Structure 1
Amino acid sequence: MRALRFSRFGDPDVLHVTDRPDPVARHHCEAVIAVKAASVNPSDLKNVAGRMEGTSLPRTPGRDFSGVVVDGPPDWRGAEVWGTGGDIGFSRDGSHAELLAIPTTALARKPERLSFEEASVVGVNFVVGWLGAVEAARLNAWESIAVFGVSGGVGGAVAQIGRALGARVIGVDRVRPADDSPAASVIDGFVALGGEPQDVGAQVGRLTAGRGADVVYDAVGGVTTPAALASLAHGGRLVVISSVGTRTVEIDLVGLYHNETRILGCDSRRLDVTRSSERLDLLRPFFDRGAFRPLPITARYGLENGKDAYAALARGARGRVVLCP
């Protein structure tokens, strides 16, 4: 099989396509998938650059995928599947290849409504969105959620999750979501980032009848943390999944405990491909009935042009970038 590989960390130029032995399903506990599509995520780019922990080299990168089972348990052969994981592409070879071996416990059937390309852009964004909004923050139907970074991949997924749960969804970002994006159709209000944190908090307050948001899902972090904290209602929950620009922020502890604020950290890298498949099984019905929509795909590349796909992402390509082996 052909696979995209890197043996040292660096910019996308360290990537190269090479021939590798075809993986084989072993001991009835593994399955081999013919990869039909695999998205390129910002975390894949960071992984190649050496900015992620736990990566052993040489390695095939890639977290998200969709494809067809070609070897493994008889009842799974020919099945259309999708997946993601915090281990594939890091401690085990990832999805930017023609074939991918995963444990049989990680097999999850792809939503019939989605094409292979559409299914390949769901994994990281929706799994970490679900992990933070549903499992950590326990967002309720009568609450409000402010989504920082709503125009991005994770933010767009969280906005849809919030709407599906019945919550009021406030989008916060430097730019408003594109008109054709799923997030644009589900947000109840938008706040532009910029200016002082208290100004952002005041705008979120005006859109929530003066209360502030019950949950703030900060998909940016670091530079946005002061504004995120200022946007919380009394007893609100702040979900943190990343840190941009700075790893440290100053917090007014007196204000924190007076507001009875809870800060919740979520790391999708802790979910391996098997634990991630459990979340995808929970998400599949939402896609099958059209409640969730995959994020727009703006660029497609063949495996031989994988380096270009990574370079496009490094240049700040909007929308999702997909490899089609």
Structure 2
Amino acid sequence: MRALRFERFGGPEVLCVGEVADPVAGDGMAVVAVRAASVNPSDVMAVSGSLEDITLPRIPGRDFAGVVLEGPDDWIGAEVWGTGGDVGSSIDGSHAERIALPVSALARKPGTLDFAEAATVGVNFVVGWLGAIETAGLAAGETIAVFGVSGGVGGAVAQIARATDAQRIVGVAPHAPAAGTPAAEVIDEFVPFDNDTDVPAEIRRITGGRGVDVVYDAVGGVTTPTTVASLAHRGRLVVISAIGTSTAEIDLHDFYHRELRMLGADSRKLNVTASAERLKRISPHFERGQFRPLPIAQTFDLDHGPDAYLAVTEKKLRGRVAIQP
């Protein structure tokens, strides 16, 4: 089969397309023909060498959607989707014509999504679900502020919060989500993260002086002092990233007097099988139309895979980038 591979770390220029051996469905395994695979910022980071536990040579790519070619009889021909912290890291990834997976990692794709749409869901919604529902325990009637709401994870979290019947959803980002995007349609208020706005004061105004029960921070680092200040008494802060700086200074007297909690969530700790379990929980929301994927800005064939990585690296496109082998 043909695949996108890298043998050394670096920018998109280290990626090359070539022939590799077809994966084989051994005991407990299945082979999926990849119809589409998105390119995430974490894929770019994996190729650059900035993520831990990447072994070389490697086929990159975490998210995928495709059709089962080999495996148990009841799975042959099934349309599936998936993602995993180990995919494209310790096992070969989805930026190829085929991918081998444990049978336990197979999850049926929602019929409401085409392959390209389904391929853009994995990382964003799995880490969104992990952080908002499993880690923070967001419940109906609570308030939430989503920092980075205009991005892939933030947009997913806003939709998850709406499906959870959050009382109020506040989106925070340098720029508001584009009109017509899922995040724009589900947030109740938008607060710009800029030098002219006192974000915690705005959030307290919106929440009647309380602050929010949960902050989901999809940015981290440069936003951390602001997110802590935006929390209500006994509020929970979920952090999944650290941009600009990996350290943050907070007032510990304020932190413990307000009985706050800071929690970390890392989707890379979920392998392809654990991620499939989350996708099975998420799938009914797509089937019912409660969740929608972010728009796809551009698709590339496998020969132009390095260009797809360059597009994500340069951040010039508004929307997701997908490879269709």
Q: What is the TM-score when the length of structure 1 is the normalising length?
A: 0.98
| Equivalence for 1:291 | 290
Aligned 1:95-106 pairs, distance under 5 A: 95-106=94-105
Distance 1:113 1:286 in 2: 10
Distance 2:312 2:23 in 1: 29
| Equivalence for 2:17 | 17
Equivalent residues, number: 323
| Equivalence for 1:265 | 264
| Equivalence for 2:244 | 245
Where 1:322 maps in the other structure, the secondary structure is strand
Aligned 1:184-263 pairs, distance under 5 A: 184-195=184-195, 199-263=198-262
Code of the aligned partner of 1:119: A
Distance 2:248 2:210 in 1: 24
Q: 4+ residue runs of structure 1 moved beyond 6 angstroms?
A: none
| Equivalence for 1:121 | 120
Deviation at 1:224, TM superposition (A): 0.5
Per-residue CA deviations over 1:130-181 (Å, capped at 9, x if unaligned) read 0000001110111000000000000000000000000011000000000021
Where 1:75 maps in the other structure, the secondary structure is helix
Where 1:286 maps in the other structure, the secondary structure is helix
Q: CA RMSD in A?
A: 0.8
Deviation at 1:56, TM superposition (A): 0.1
Q: Any conservation in 2 of the 1:196–1:227 contact (CA below 8 Å)?
A: no
Deviation at 1:206, TM superposition (A): 1.0
Aligned 1:277-316 pairs, distance under 5 A: 277-316=276-315
Q: Any conservation in 2 of the 1:2–1:18 contact (CA below 8 Å)?
A: yes
Code of the aligned partner of 2:85: G
Distance 1:196 1:306 in 2: 40
Distance 2:114 2:269 in 1: 28
Distance 1:259 1:192 in 2: 25
| Equivalence for 2:63 | 64
Code of the aligned partner of 1:82: W
Q: Any conservation in 2 of the 1:220–1:243 contact (CA below 8 Å)?
A: yes
Q: Any conservation in 2 of the 1:35–1:66 contact (CA below 8 Å)?
A: yes
Where 1:44 maps in the other structure, the secondary structure is helix
| Equivalence for 1:171 | 171
Where 1:220 maps in the other structure, the secondary structure is coil
Distance 2:269 2:196 in 1: 34
Aligned pair 1:90/2:75, yes or no? Answer: no
Where 2:73 maps in the other structure, the secondary structure is coil
Where 2:228 maps in the other structure, the secondary structure is helix
Distance 2:179 2:318 in 1: 13
Q: Give structure 2 stretches of 5+ with no counterpart.
A: none
Where 1:81 maps in the other structure, the secondary structure is strand
Distance 1:133 1:177 in 2: 19
| Equivalence for 2:135 | 136
Where 2:183 maps in the other structure, the secondary structure is helix
Distance 1:196 1:162 in 2: 27
Deviation at 1:196, TM superposition (A): 7.5
Q: What is the TM-score when the length of structure 2 is the normalising length?
A: 0.98
Where 2:282 maps in the other structure, the secondary structure is helix
Distance 2:210 2:195 in 1: 21
Where 2:74 maps in the other structure, the secondary structure is coil
